[in-house]
């Protein structure tokens, strides 16, 4: 096993252990407390909160993926080609909306709680996936798409059998970006009462308890790094399988 | 429907055919026309009463606005020249902007200082529909960078004129502003200082670090990995984690407190934003330098340029557009992220957003969110134009 | 004069250039030919210290280049490469002015030199000076690349596959231009190529390299007639030998007295062209014209004798 993977395994096991038995780590976290503050978050199970956090991110990313890939497919077909330039500009403009603003503006329509967070994560997650799917579908090697036409594949067959499989690693890179952004952005959801790890961090900020801020931040950071690495590995595998390791994107 | 179906309609004039985007815009506009144009509330936090297009304005202006909207929809629907669509889009947007102000004055009872009128879902949808038309037209026209900046300036001037003329003064968001004007400008200054200050520091430090990583290969993977991990820490956590070390610095390092360093407030926010900015700037510097054509570097060496001459005369100028793209990403991102600074007492427009969330006062949220989005948008337009202006020599069309 | 003396270059155990000794006479064109990986480019790049030799010495006009700072040496030696290596962010004029600027020439002198060189390479200064490289055609970019290499009037010009990216018609024109310029300035040129045809056409001497070793260095006629190794013979192409030999001489040098009718051939044409024309038209001899006057004939019999292996 490569040293990198050993480190990842150790980090993963430590994370699981911490979530299951946080009190084992209270010695470490009490280094960051003052005046006998609790060292471990005590207003709910860290495991539950983490699973809820992951659930929100997963649901939002799944929805973003379906819609973004679908939209990208539509605008790259002859039927939707008219919308291609506009969709590019919109994706570009969409990135100028800060997540907090999206979150805050979703509250009047959806009330407090998980719903506005889901919507904000969904909207914010759309952009990287949409952009990468576009890149993937429009930057295919022309020789391959030509050959697919040449052997007499229909538009659908080309999409399903050639274009999407070849674009898959690039699309996956978009999903990876989207997941990492969402993992961090979901913490902000706690400002509108969503049950995410932001709750732990905000509790720490309100009571000046650095231990809470640190454990909330560490769990999110470690999750992000592990998921990022896992998805990167999957991309490399897919790239190698389709023999296009050279044209990595994003 | 295929291209062939529309192409053989030669007997009709070219504009007399349906535009697909126009259909979408017409549908959104129709939904916008049905939904309430404005919301009336007796005071700041009660539930609003929806007012339709017909109720929100006196009969003549109401008819006029409906007429303008209809003309706009027809121009969007048919295949008119793109410039005509752009002009129509801007005209309808201007009409919407003017009439929402009129509506607010009309709906507010004389002398009632508690009543609030805010734009309704219908207004936002109409605004979105015609913003789509304008965006599409601008994208298709591919204006030169300087013209794009000129259009941006013109739009800003038009909005400034509307604000200055007082025709929006009855809108709820401006009523929120009126009670907080000094705070608004103070938080605005803080917001700009946080966003631009952090990017400026990150640029000054990030570019040399990027050059170093490019020249010293073994350094590259390590530095980029560390910066990558910093990016995964959620912003509120990073802001929070910097409180303790900065408090320690303020307490233990002589002079630190005098230059404004303290545990809470702007200092941890600035440091956190700076930390987030480093990765895009450093990695874009490395990528930009790596993408300089090997032939140009070989020629530069072969003609007797020293390492320093090569860096300043060939490598950095050629990498500059990529570096600037990194700065653009970071600036837009930090203008948005600076709102989070309010959570740790760092100030900025986020103060209004979080106060608004706390009081369920959406007008207050908008008072913080609208300028943030506008700033980020303007920064994106200006920097995109600069990137294009500086990429001379590349094959970009 | 460039003296390459027992030069070796090894990269982590692999020997790229293996004990090469070669003298390049002043005011001549020396073409280094070889397949890719033969070490030809590495050998050339050691002349302007883009590559440092592992052992051995290179002397230019008797001075060991090891003692000259690399950047100073390079400013004295012109350098043109495949794909031209123009700076994409600088105008044609600024590109050509690169070395004069490094050498600290004043503005007037630099501008005059740029104007002179662009005119020499048939690029109207008024039209091309302020254009960016990507607005030029491949052939024009190549000419700017060579003009830039010659900007500071170097005595030596190094060229690495300079015509590799050009199509055959433009390449032939560029080769003629290079020969004209070499005659005009008397520059010593070291040119690297994998194309034996180009080597025979341009070279006063040809150095053939394979697997880091110098196999043979001689005049083109000598290389064609007596290839030192089977590899050199293969590079020349056995079926091409007589034609390559003919391509070295001009019709003007082999005119015989006599009157024949029919379409004449120019005295400036190569014997190879004359031979092809004889075979194609099925005639035993062709009239030769010079400045519109018929000055004699060239015969198939004479050419066949010239194409035979020299004894």
pLDDT in tens, B204-260: 999 999 999 999 888 888 888 888 888 877 887 787 777 777 777 777 777 777 766
Distance from CA of A115 to the nearest CA of B (A): 15
Judged against a pLDDT cut of 70, whether residue B1 lies above it is answered with: no
Q: Which residue has the higher pLDDT, B358 or C6?
A: C6
- Chains with ≥3 Cβ pairs under 8 A against A? B
Model confidence band, residue A88 (pLDDT cutoffs 50, 70, 90): confident
Chain A residues within an 8 Å CB radius of B335: 98
Q: Which of B296, B317, B318 sits opposite C85 (nearest CB)?
A: B296
CA distance C244 to C247: 5
**Tens digit of each residue's pLDDT (9 = 90 or more) over B171-201:** 888 988 988 999 999 999 999 999 999 999 9
Is B134 at the interface with chain A, CB within 8 A? Answer: no
Widest pairwise Cα distance in chain C: 67
The pLDDT value given to residue C304:
86
E strand intervals along B158-316: none
C133 in helix, strand or coil?
A: helix
Class of domain C244-307: alpha beta
pLDDT in tens, B364-377: 888 999 999 999 99
Q: Which of B29, B171, B149, B145 is nearest to B88 (CA)?
A: B29
Which pLDDT does position B396 carry in this prediction? 39
Convert the pLDDT of each residue in C284-305 to its tens digit.
Answer: 888 888 888 888 888 888 888 8
Q: Which residues of B touch A85 (CB under 8 A)?
A: 136, 139-140
> B313-345: per-residue pLDDT in tens?
999 999 999 999 999 989 998 998 899 888 888
- Cβ–Cβ under 8 Å, residues C281 and C309: no
- Res. B2: pLDDT tops 60: no
Q: Which of residues 74-93 of A touch B (CB under 8 A)?
A: 78-80, 82-83, 85-86, 88-90, 92-93
Residue B135 has pLDDT above 70, yes or no: yes
Q: How far apart are CA B154 and CA B110, in angstroms?
A: 34
**Residue C108 pLDDT > 70:** yes
Distance CA A230, CA A224 (A): 10
pLDDT of residue C182: 92
Residue among C48, C71, C103, C138 with most chain B CBs within 10 A, to mutate: C71
Q: Which helix (H) or strand (E) holds B171?
A: none
Q: Residue range A61-82: average pLDDT?
A: 91
CATH architecture of the region C2-236: 3-Layer(aba) Sandwich (3.40)
The nearest CA of chain B is from the CA of C261 a distance in Å of 54
pLDDT, tens only, B20-53: 889 999 999 999 999 999 989 888 777 788 888 8
Chain C residue nearest residue B299, CA to CA: C85
What architecture does CATH give domain A46-137+169-247?
Orthogonal Bundle (1.10)
A176-188 tens-digit pLDDT:
989 988 998 899 8
In chain C, what percentage of residues exceed pLDDT 70? 100
- Nearest residue in B to A85, CA atom: B139
User: What confidence tier does A248 reach under pLDDT thresholds 50, 70, 90?
Assistant: very low
pLDDT at A1: 65
Helix (H) or strand (E) holding C59: strand C55-60
Residue range A132-141, pLDDT digits in tens: 999 999 888 8
Strand partners, A142: none
In three-state form (DSSP H/G/I as H, E/B as E, the rest C), the secondary structure along C206-246 is: EEEEECCEEEEEECHHHHHHCCCCHHHHHHHCHHHHHHHHH
Determine which helix (DSSP H) or strand (DSSP E) holds C16, and give its type and residue range: strand C14-24
Compute the average pLDDT of residues C66-91. Answer: 88
Beta carbon pairs, B and C, within 8 Å: 72
Residues C104-112: what's their mean pLDDT? 93
Is the Cβ of B373 closer than 8 Å to some Cβ of chain A?
Answer: yes
Q: B177-390: which CATH architecture?
A: Orthogonal Bundle (1.10)
For chain B, residues classed under CATH 1.10.3720.10 are 177-390
Touch between B and C (at least 3 CB pairs under 8 Å) = yes
Nearest CA in chain C to B314: C87
Q: % helix / strand / coil in chain C, to the nearest 5?
A: 40, 25, 30
Cα dihedral B25, B28, B29, B33, rounded to 10, equals 170
Over residues C66-70, the mean pLDDT reads 90
Q: Which residues of B touch A213 (CB under 8 A)?
A: 237, 240-241, 243
Q: Is the pLDDT of residue C214 over 90?
A: yes
Q: How far apart are CA C173 and CA C142, in angstroms?
A: 11
* B237 contacts chain A (CB < 8 A): yes
What is the distance between the alpha carbons of residues A33 and A26, in angstroms, rounded to a whole number? 10
Query: Minimal Cα–Cα distance from C159 to chain B, Å?
Result: 11
B291 in reach of chain C (CB within 8 A): no
Distance from CA of B337 to the nearest CA of A (A): 7
- Once rounded to an integer, what is the mean pLDDT over residues B106-133? 88
Average pLDDT over residues C159-186: 88
For chain C, which residues make up each domain, given as ranges?
2-236, 244-307
- Residue ranges of B 324-353 with Cβ closer than 8 A to chain A: 332, 335-337, 339-340, 343-344, 350, 353
- Residues shown for chain A: 250
**Among all chains, which residue has been given the structure tokens 């860096």?**
B311
Q: What percent of chain A has pLDDT over 70?
A: 96
What integer pLDDT is reported at residue C117 of this predicted model? Answer: 92
Measured CA angle at B25 (ends B19, B29), to 5 deg: 140
| Residue of B136, B147, B152, B211 whose CA lies nearest to B389 | B147
pLDDT at res. C311: 66
Measured in whole angstroms, how far is the alpha carbon of residue B59 from the centre of its chain? Answer: 36
Q: What is the pTM of this model?
A: 0.82
Share of chain B above pLDDT 90, in %: 50
Select the residue from C88, C148, C165 to test the B interface by mutation, using most B Cβ atoms within 10 A: C88
| CA of A241 vs chain B CAs: smallest distance (Å) | 25
Report the distance separating Cα B248 and Cα B140, nearest Å.
55
Q: What are C6's two structure tokens? A: 């027992």
**CB atoms B240 and A95 under 8 Å:** no
Using 50, 70 and 90 to split pLDDT, how confident is the model at C208?
Answer: very high
Confidence of residue C263 (pLDDT cuts 50, 70, 90): confident
User: Cβ of C88 under 8 Å from any chain B Cβ?
Assistant: yes
Chain A closest-CA separation from residue B332 CA (Å): 6
Location of structure tokens 């006629």: C221
Out of B19, B241, B357, closest to residue A104 by CB: B357
A22-36, A133-147, C29-43: least confident range:
A22-36
CA distances from C296 to B169, B361, C270 (A): 102, 105, 16
- State chain C's mean pLDDT as an integer: 89
B132 and chain A in contact, CB less than 8 A: yes
Residues A130, A174: Cα–Cα separation, whole Å: 8
- The domain spans of chain A are 46-137+169-247
Q: Is residue C125 exposed (0-12), middle (13-18) or buried (19+ Cβ within 10 Å)?
A: middle
| C50 shares contact with chain B (CB less than 8 Å) | yes
Q: A 21-60 residues with CB below 8 A of B?
A: 32
Q: Which residues pair with C294 in a beta bridge?
A: C289
Of A107, A197, A198, the CB nearest to B357: A107
Tell me what percent of the residues of chain B surpass a pLDDT of 70: 94
| pLDDT surpasses 80 at C115 | yes
Query: Which residues lie below 8 Å from residue B341, measured CB to CB, with a gap of 6+?
Result: B190, B194, B239, B266, B269, B273, B347, B348, B350
């Amino acid at each position: 096993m490569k040293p990198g993977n050993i480190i990842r395994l150790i980090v993963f096991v430590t994370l699981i252990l911490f979530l299951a038995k946080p009190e084992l780590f209270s010695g470490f976290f009490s280094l960051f407390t003052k005046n006998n503050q609790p060292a471990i978050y005590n207003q709910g199970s860290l495991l539950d909160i983490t699973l809820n956090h992951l659930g929100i991110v997963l649901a939002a990313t799944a929805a973003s993926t379906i819609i973004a890939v679908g939209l990208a497919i539509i605008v790259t077909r002859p039927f939707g080609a008219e919308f291609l330039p506009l969709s590019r500009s919109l994706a570009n403009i969409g990135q100028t909306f800060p997540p907090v603003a999206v979150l805050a503006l979703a509250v009047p329509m959806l009330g407090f709680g998980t719903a506005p967070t889901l919507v904000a994560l969904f909207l914010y997650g759309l952009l990287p996936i949409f952009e990468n799917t576009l890149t993937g579908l429009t930057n295919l090697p022309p020789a391959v798409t030509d050959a697919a036409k040449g052997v007499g594949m229909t538009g659908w067959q080309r999409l399903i059998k050639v274009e999407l499989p070849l674009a898959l690693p690039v699309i996956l890179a978009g999903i990876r970006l989207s997941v990492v952004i969402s993992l961090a952005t979901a913490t902000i959801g706690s400002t509108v009462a969503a049950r995410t790890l932001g709750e732990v961090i905000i509790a720490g900020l309100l009571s000046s308890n650095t231990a809470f801020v640190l454990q909330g931040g560490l769990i999110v950071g470690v999750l992000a790094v592990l998921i990022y690495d896992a998805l990167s590995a999957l991309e490399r595998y897919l790239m190698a399988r389709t023999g296009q390791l050279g044209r990595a994107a994003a | 429907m295929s291209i062939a179906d529309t192409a053989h309609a030669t007997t009709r004039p070219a504009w007399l055919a349906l535009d697909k985007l126009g259909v979408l815009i017409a549908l959104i506009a129709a939904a916008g026309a049905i939904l309430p144009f404005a919301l009336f509330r007796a005071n700041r936090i009660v539930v609003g009463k929806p007012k339709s297009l017909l109720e929100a304005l006196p009969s003549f202006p109401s008819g006029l606005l409906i007429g303008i909207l209809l003309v706009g929809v027809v121009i969007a629907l048919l295949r008119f020249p793109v410039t005509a669509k752009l002009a129509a889009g801007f005209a309808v947007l201007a009409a919407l902007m003017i009439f929402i102000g009129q509506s607010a004055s009309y709906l507010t009872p004389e002398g009632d200082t508690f009543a609030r009128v805010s734009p309704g879902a219908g207004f936002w949808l109409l605004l979105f529909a015609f913003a789509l038309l304008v965006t599409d037209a601008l994208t298709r026209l591919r204006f030169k960078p300087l013209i794009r900046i000129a259009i941006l300036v013109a739009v800003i001037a038009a909005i400034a004129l509307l604000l200055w003329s007082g025709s929006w003064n009855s809108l709820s968001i401006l009523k929120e502003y009126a009670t907080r004007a000094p705070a608004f400008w103070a938080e605005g200054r803080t917001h700009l200082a946080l966003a631009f200050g952090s990017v400026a520091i990150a640029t000054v430090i990030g570019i040399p670090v990027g050059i170093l990583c490019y020249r010293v290969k073994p350094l590259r993977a390590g530095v980029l990995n560390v910066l990558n991990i910093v990016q995964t820490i959620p912003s509120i956590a990073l802001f929070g984690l910097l409180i303790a070390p900065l408090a320690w610095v303020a307490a233990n390092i002589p002079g630190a407190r005098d230059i404004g360093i303290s545990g809470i407030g702007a200092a941890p926010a600035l440091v956190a934003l700076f930390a987030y900015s480093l990765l895009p700037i450093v990695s874009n510097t490395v990528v930009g330098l790596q993408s300089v054509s090997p032939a140009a570097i070989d020629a530069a060496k072969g003609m007797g340029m020293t390492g320093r001459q090569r860096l300043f005369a060939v490598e950095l100028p050629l990498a500059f557009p990529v570096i600037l793209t990194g700065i653009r990403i970071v600036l837009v991102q930090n203008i948005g992220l600076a709102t989070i600074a309010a959570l740790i007492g760092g100030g900025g427009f986020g103060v209004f957003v979080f106060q608004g969330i706390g009081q369920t006062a959406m007008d207050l949220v908008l008072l913080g969110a609208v300028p943030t989005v506008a700033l980020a948008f303007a920064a994106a337009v200006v920097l995109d134009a600069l990137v294009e202006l500086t990429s001379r020599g590349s094959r970009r069309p | 004069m460039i003296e390459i003396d027992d030069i070796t270059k090894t990269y982590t155990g692999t020997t790229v250039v293996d004990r090469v000794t070669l003298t390049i006479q002043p005011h001549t064109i020396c073409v280094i030919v070889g397949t890719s990986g033969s070490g030809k480019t590495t050998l050339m790049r050691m002349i302007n210290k883009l590559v440092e030799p592992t052992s051995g010495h290179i002397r230019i006009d008797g001075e060991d280049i090891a003692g000259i700072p690399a950047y100073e040496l390079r400013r004295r030696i012109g350098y043109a490469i495949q794909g031209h290596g123009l700076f994409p962010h600088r105008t044609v004029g600024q590109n050509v002015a690169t070395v004069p600027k490094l050498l600290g020439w004043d503005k007037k002198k630099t501008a005059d030199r740029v104007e002179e060189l662009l005119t020499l390479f048939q690029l109207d200064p008024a039209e091309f000076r302020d254009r960016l490289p990507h607005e030029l055609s491949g052939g024009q970019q190549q000419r700017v690349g060579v003009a830039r290499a010659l900007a500071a009037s170097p005595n030596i010009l190094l060229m690495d596959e300079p015509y590799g990216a050009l199509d055959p018609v433009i390449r032939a024109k560029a080769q003629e231009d290079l020969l004209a310029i070499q005659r005009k300035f008397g520059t010593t040129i070291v040119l690297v190529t994998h194309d034996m045809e180009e080597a025979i056409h341009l070279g006063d001497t040809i150095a053939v390299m394979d697997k880091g070793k110098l196999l043979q260095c001689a005049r083109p006629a000598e290389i064609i007639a007596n290839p030192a190794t089977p590899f050199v013979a293969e590079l020349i192409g056995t079926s091409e030998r007589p034609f390559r030999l003919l391509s070295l001489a001009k019709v003007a040098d082999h005119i015989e007295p006599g009157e024949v009718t029919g379409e004449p051939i120019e005295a400036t044409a190569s014997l190879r062209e004359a031979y092809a024309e004889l075979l194609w038209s099925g005639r035993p001899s062709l009239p030769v014209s010079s400045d519109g006057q018929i000055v004699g004939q060239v015969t198939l019999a004479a050419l066949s004798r010239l194409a035979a292996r020299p004894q």
